[in-house]
Structure 1
């Protein structure tokens, strides 16, 4: 049971522990009450029984023997007691099997005199029997109900009221405890998604929660300022770097006559521009939209940018009716980087990259698979591929890469709520699996 409680969220864990605590406290209170109240009630019953014996003794001691029989029968009619004449051949058992019984017997003897006997059964008939003397004869009086050391069991409706109050109180207390933590969890999730305008109540009555909320709000303000500064800085860097690159390209077209040198320099400029674009993509803020997207159309649209069959061939096997939830810009960025990664590394030397794209609906998800037929990567390097600036082994590494392609893929998918898995495919090559949320 403890393991099951650990697996629940905070509200239900708190609710379960409080319910157990309150139920245990209620049970302990009931047990204590019954223990403290049972003995006085039993002694009171013994006192009343002693009074009944004295009344019977007085009634039977002042009548003749013949009239006693009639009196005994009249006493038993409609009464809760039984009276019979004691005989020498009676067999009886002492009422002393427990400390409680001995206490009851002692109380009756003190009340009625030393000649009184208290038995738990007479001639095989169980009950609380009291033997007393009335004149020259002895009699047995049996009580209709034997005093008990415990109280009667509570009624079922009372137990239901206690159980309902316990559950309701536990739910209210757990809700009060969980409410500020839930608000903190929601605000932290919004911060993770890039929404830095989250604010928590700084005027709550609980001082500890108030201090936590104030600290969180200050942290959110600092992060918002850092994000704003980063965006401005990256925009400035992009502008300041691309402006001289544009001038270099213009100077190249006008001044260099050697076509081979011109082409090599143009490729270097394009590479620098692409690296700047990768940095901008990775540092891009997290604003996004969430809408239904046709996965096959997105794959076909991004594949148009890779039309050189000597470098890469993309086979789109995604069904046209598969829709996923996501942001169109983020999805385009994911497919661009996956195709570019396959174009660079997913082929044998001197051959074109052969890329197969397929998708399969699985319940509330759509599984997209992008596979190349290159050399793959060592198994121990797979978890490192999505780290910024990480490069795999030489078989999949070119000097022109920025080391940010798969890091951008992972970051974009996280923004869309999708999951990424990279592995070596059976038969060779790298296989990328993406689980999107399915759109109806």
Structure 2
């Protein structure tokens, strides 16, 4: 529901056209591959070890297959020659009994070959080709092979009782005699060796990842403006060197921060006090009113620029997060401008509470409203909208000024940046948007700049609500090992 303040007439919805995958400050969808150095390196080593084991297995098979083929061919040739000899020397009446005994005791079946035999060839593999070539070399080129004779599976080899005979016989050897009996043992031992190597790789990589996680955690502490704990300068030389350099950097930053605070205090006292005396002197000088107003405006502009330098020099806000009704804050900020006669249209709901840093957020909104008034002029309307959308609180400040070209919007977020033509009236130090960007980033939010239909600029602040902030906090906690930061 709208408050008693005038409602805006700008129909553009807050945040319209935002792509959640490409908008700045929005986390991208998680990748399928691990993001941490530990698991990336571990999987890389695991892949290398697996490829190495597979390569050595193929190398071993490549050189072991010919020797094994010779041994198997010798066994097959011996069985065929013994079978042939037994059949030749056996009495004709007892050959049937001999064939039954060979089948029962040795698993060797012998059948006469016929032109109508249904045969299935052996698999066309390197090891099988080596075996058949070696058997043919020993038994003769007329030797044939099959994996199935009629409905019986096995290793079938043809032979002749006499080389001059045209009649062939088939002898079947059980497939078990040709299989590699130690294949399972090799697989078990290879898998065990790979497992031991992977455990060792994990332990080695963890020695690197743990110090890096500590370094990333301390870097986030430095990024938040606090002094990190002292990192242990132990371990491998490279890790110890990095830890020592980081500790030195953290100490230098702490001293620089203390010096900056001292300088800011001196600037605030030494510059603003003479400016106050200068303004008082101008007002009491008796000069024409137009000259007095112009000089007072210059003094106020100088005071405002000094304030921007001080705000930017303070760095990240250190005020804790507190529950705040953004509706009340927006209405309080808009009222003084309305009392000055500026047309400020406010569109807000009944209530919208979220944890924020009240003073820095107030400063950011004032910067946006001041920019809108300065560049649009006090005779043009200013629009302020507040909405709750998709887990975010959106605050929009829109004006009817000259606006910012699309190509320059990202550049305008940088400190000490001003346009040459679009919004140049040109006063200020170019720190307003940089200060707002920094304050909103400290809330895990983002600042969006967009052109306004009909001319002007829309500055949209995205602040995460309490549920969204809690979800992001959980994401940060779970992503510490990945050295990620929202």
TM-score w.r.t. structure 1 length?
Answer: 0.78
The answer to whether residue 293 in structure 2 is matched with residue 277 in structure 1 is no
Deviation at 1:70, TM superposition (A): 2.0
* CA distance in 2 between partners of 1:329 and 1:89 (Å): 99
The answer to whether residue 71 in structure 2 is matched with residue 40 in structure 1 is no
The answer to whether residue 95 in structure 2 is matched with residue 68 in structure 1 is yes
* Aligned 8 A contact 1:292 1:439 in 2: no
When residues 257 and 31 of structure 1 are mapped into structure 2, their CA distance, relative to the original with a 3 A threshold, is same
The answer to whether residue 401 in structure 2 is matched with residue 374 in structure 1 is yes
* Aligned 8 A contact 2:381 2:399 in 1: yes
The answer to whether residue 425 in structure 2 is matched with residue 404 in structure 1 is no
Deviation at 1:331, TM superposition (A): 0.7
Bigger mean CA deviation after superposition, 214-223 or 32-41: 32-41
Deviation at 1:193, TM superposition (A): 2.7
* CA distance in 2 between partners of 1:241 and 1:291 (Å): 33
* Aligned 8 A contact 1:200 1:217 in 2: yes
* Aligned 8 A contact 1:303 1:314 in 2: yes
Equivalence map 1:169-318=2 (5 Å): 175-197=206-228, 199-204=230-235, 206-248=236-278, 256=285, 260=289, 266-286=296-316, 287-310=318-341, 312-318=342-348
* Aligned 8 A contact 1:331 1:412 in 2: yes
* CA distance in 1 between partners of 2:460 and 2:148 (Å): 88
The answer to whether residue 54 in structure 2 is matched with residue 23 in structure 1 is no
When residues 421 and 122 of structure 1 are mapped into structure 2, their CA distance, relative to the original with a 3 A threshold, is closer
Deviation at 1:79, TM superposition (A): 3.6
In our comparison, the structure showing a higher alpha carbon Rg is: 1
* CA distance in 1 between partners of 2:309 and 2:229 (Å): 27
Bigger mean CA deviation after superposition, 116-125 or 429-438: 116-125
Q: CA-to-partner distance for each residue in 1:53-107, whole Å, 9 max, x for gaps? A: 5654665565432123322223223541013579999999x9999444222333x
Deviation at 1:354, TM superposition (A): 1.5
Deviation at 1:235, TM superposition (A): 1.0
When residues 87 and 70 of structure 1 are mapped into structure 2, their CA distance, relative to the original with a 3 A threshold, is farther
Deviation at 1:171, TM superposition (A): 6.0
Matched residue, 1:340: 370
Q: CA-to-partner distance for each residue in 1:320-339, whole Å, 9 max, x for gaps? A: 43344432222111101011
Let me know the Cα RMSD of the aligned residues: 4.5
Deviation at 1:41, TM superposition (A): 3.4
When residues 41 and 292 of structure 1 are mapped into structure 2, their CA distance, relative to the original with a 3 A threshold, is farther
Q: CA-to-partner distance for each residue in 1:210-266, whole Å, 9 max, x for gaps? A: 22222222222222222221111111121112233344456567x545683666555
* Aligned 8 A contact 2:376 2:401 in 1: yes
When residues 7 and 332 of structure 1 are mapped into structure 2, their CA distance, relative to the original with a 3 A threshold, is farther
* CA distance in 2 between partners of 1:301 and 1:48 (Å): 100
The answer to whether residue 463 in structure 2 is matched with residue 436 in structure 1 is yes
When residues 359 and 24 of structure 1 are mapped into structure 2, their CA distance, relative to the original with a 3 A threshold, is farther
The answer to whether residue 379 in structure 2 is matched with residue 361 in structure 1 is no
Matched residue, 2:412: 385
Q: CA-to-partner distance for each residue in 1:262-296, whole Å, 9 max, x for gaps? A: 66555444433322222111101322423443322
* Aligned 8 A contact 2:329 2:362 in 1: yes
- 2:158 partner SS: strand
Bigger mean CA deviation after superposition, 37-46 or 238-247: 37-46
* Aligned 8 A contact 2:84 2:161 in 1: yes
Bigger mean CA deviation after superposition, 37-46 or 50-59: 50-59
**Bigger RCO (CA 8 Å, 6+ sep):** 2
* CA distance in 1 between partners of 2:213 and 2:428 (Å): 43
When residues 119 and 271 of structure 1 are mapped into structure 2, their CA distance, relative to the original with a 3 A threshold, is closer
* CA distance in 1 between partners of 2:133 and 2:430 (Å): 90
* CA distance in 1 between partners of 2:107 and 2:322 (Å): 82
* Aligned 8 A contact 1:72 1:84 in 2: no
Query: Which runs of 5 or more structure 1 residues have no equivalent in the other structure?
Result: none
* Aligned 8 A contact 2:344 2:383 in 1: yes
* CA distance in 2 between partners of 1:100 and 1:353 (Å): 95
* CA distance in 1 between partners of 2:189 and 2:462 (Å): 50
Q: CA-to-partner distance for each residue in 1:132-178, whole Å, 9 max, x for gaps? A: 56xx99976432238769889769x9699679948877766655554
Give 1:119's match in structure 2, choosing from 135, 144, 147: 144
* Aligned 8 A contact 1:302 1:336 in 2: yes
Query: Which runs of 5 or more structure 2 residues have no equivalent in the other structure?
Result: 1-29, 468-486
* Aligned 8 A contact 1:346 1:372 in 2: yes
Deviation at 1:123, TM superposition (A): 12
- 2:414 partner SS: coil
